[in-house]
Amino acid sequence: MIFDKTSLNLTIQQQWSPWHERLQGQIVANKSFLPYGANVLLAISGGQDSMALARLLCDLQRIYNWKLHLWHGNHRWRSDSDQVARELEKWAYKEQLYFCSNLPNRLLCSESLARRWRYECLIDQSKQLGCHHIITAHTGSDRAETLLLNIARGSDRHGIASLPTSRKLGYLKNINLVRPLLNFSRRDTAAICQQWKLPIWHDTTNENLSFSRNRIRYHVLPVLEDLHPGANLRISSLSSRLQEENQILLELIPLAIKSLQESNDCHQLLRFELVSLSKCSQRHILYQWILVECHRTIKTAVLERLIWRLPLDQGPGKLDLAGGWFLAWDRKYLRLDNQYKSKD
């Protein structure tokens, strides 16, 4: 651990930097991102990213009058986990910041289980504190790693365009998950910590090359960064643009679906008009139509086979969508139906 007693409570002139300017630009551009007077909960691990974000938020807190709370998840994966939690609490007390932490009541044997536990704790703590914004310190470097991993796994455009800047947290309509550092690289957060001599608690599990993300971090992205400086943030920016395009599709596809329907029967599409479109458009329309009307996702391979069966010279057909739902088509229509509803 690197530790220095330099306080965050410096003058505005000493505090302000291009990094503060960059973060404030996001806040100004999107009033609901971190609104004035918001009650916010920051997930803090003690690593360079979350410590750098804590610094920026503390400095901007004077301007935006946020009520900033810190939460730490102690996974107890390392022998020094309890010590890190205690030292983080001392640091937060010195900076006059609210701090709380949780220990798991079950063994967290995978990163996916640990992530689920963290969000459960963050949601519970947010409800207790009346916080409507949960903040995490994911950087553009994290989003670049995620994009590369998802491409390698064969994800579709929705999977590739992960880690949005902000989103509603699951079914909770009044809690937003916010990621303010997605236009910052890991080099930026390291520089912030160095500039203000912030304490950093290094997590040795981030250096374990048995984790695929760490191999991307240490072996792939550095090569891309050397070849094309700034690659981290450009790859991250690509993810952001894909999210915007996905949003455009979500807004336009319902209009396309409506144009393929007669009267107000939402379970029926005109076959000739549908197959007159490009296969790419058919793919998007059918996927969204089935998802909205049946609450079913259709696998890519099944969707591809369906599209090849829809030209008029292929005749009528039927496809089981599970859960009682099926898609049937004749010469004029495609129709969604549910065998259980038909029996009622």
Domain assignment present for residue 3? The answer is no
Confidence of residue 264 (pLDDT cuts 50, 70, 90): confident
Annotation-wise, does 226 bind a ligand?
no
* CA-based nearest residue to 73, from 43, 105, 40, 112: 43
Question: Are both 179 and 218 inside the same structural domain?
Answer: yes
Q: Distance between CA 225 and CA 141 in Å, rounded?
A: 11
Across the range 39-54, mean pLDDT stands at: 97
Question: Are both 72 and 179 inside the same structural domain?
Answer: yes
Across the range 119-124, mean pLDDT stands at: 94
pLDDT in tens, 315-340: 999 999 988 999 999 999 999 999 87
Last residue of some domain: 243, 278, 309?
243
Burial of 119 by CB count in 10 Å (0-12 exposed, 13-18 middle, 19+ buried)?
Answer: middle
AA letter at 271 = R
Is 60 exceeded by the pLDDT of residue 234? yes
Least confident of 78-87, 200-209, 317-326: 200-209
Q: Distance between CA 27 and CA 253 in Å, rounded?
A: 30
**56 Cβ contact list (under 8 Å, min separation 6):** 19, 20, 23, 180, 192
Question: Are both 239 and 264 inside the same structural domain?
Answer: no
Domain assignment present for residue 250? The answer is no
Annotation-wise, does 276 bind a ligand?
no
Question: Are both 38 and 142 inside the same structural domain?
Answer: yes
Across the range 132-154, mean pLDDT stands at: 94
**Full residue range of the structural domain in which residue 300 is found:** 260-343
In Å, what is the CA distance from 264 to each residue of 259, 261, 274, 276, 333? 11, 7, 17, 21, 14
Annotation-wise, does 25 bind a ligand?
no
Question: Are both 204 and 151 inside the same structural domain?
Answer: yes
* CA-based nearest residue to 225, from 152, 151, 139, 141: 141
End-to-end CA distance of the chain: 66
pLDDT in tens, 104-116: 988 888 888 888 9
Domain assignment present for residue 60? The answer is yes
Domain assignment present for residue 306? The answer is yes
Name which residue leads in pLDDT, 9 or 213: 213
pLDDT of residue 158: 78
Is 80 exceeded by the pLDDT of residue 170? no
Q: Distance between CA 146 and CA 149 in Å, rounded?
A: 5
The sign of the dihedral angle between the CA atoms of 277, 283, 289, 292 is: negative
Our CA angle for 229, 243, 227, nearest 5°, is 15
- Tokens representing 263 are 């009267």
pLDDT of residue 157: 80
Question: pTM above the 0.85 mark?
Answer: no
Last residue of some domain: 243, 275, 292?
243
Question: Are both 149 and 288 inside the same structural domain?
Answer: no
pLDDT of residue 236: 93
Annotation-wise, does 7 bind a ligand?
no
pLDDT of residue 14: 58
Question: Are both 228 and 285 inside the same structural domain?
Answer: no
Q: Which residues of 141-175 are buried (b: 16+ CB within 10 A; e: fewer)?
A: bbbbbbbbbbeeeeeeeeebbebbbbeebeeeeeb
Question: Are both 142 and 210 inside the same structural domain?
Answer: yes
Q: Distance between CA 144 and CA 232 in Å, rounded?
A: 6
pLDDT of residue 63: 94
Annotation-wise, does 46 bind a ligand?
yes
Total count of residues recorded for the chain: 344
pLDDT of residue 5: 37
Last residue of some domain: 214, 243, 272?
243
Question: Are both 191 and 273 inside the same structural domain?
Answer: no
Mean of pLDDT over the chain: 90
Question: Are both 57 and 186 inside the same structural domain?
Answer: yes
Annotation-wise, does 47 bind a ligand?
yes
pLDDT of residue 284: 93
**% the chain with pLDDT above 90:** 72
pLDDT of residue 31: 85
Question: Are both 203 and 304 inside the same structural domain?
Answer: no
Is 80 exceeded by the pLDDT of residue 4? no
Domain assignment present for residue 248? The answer is no
* CATH at residue 323: 3.30.465.60
Domain assignment present for residue 49? The answer is yes
Domain assignment present for residue 251? The answer is no
* CATH at residue 203: 3.40.50.620
Number of domains in the chain: 2
Domain assignment present for residue 98? The answer is yes
Question: Are both 33 and 164 inside the same structural domain?
Answer: yes
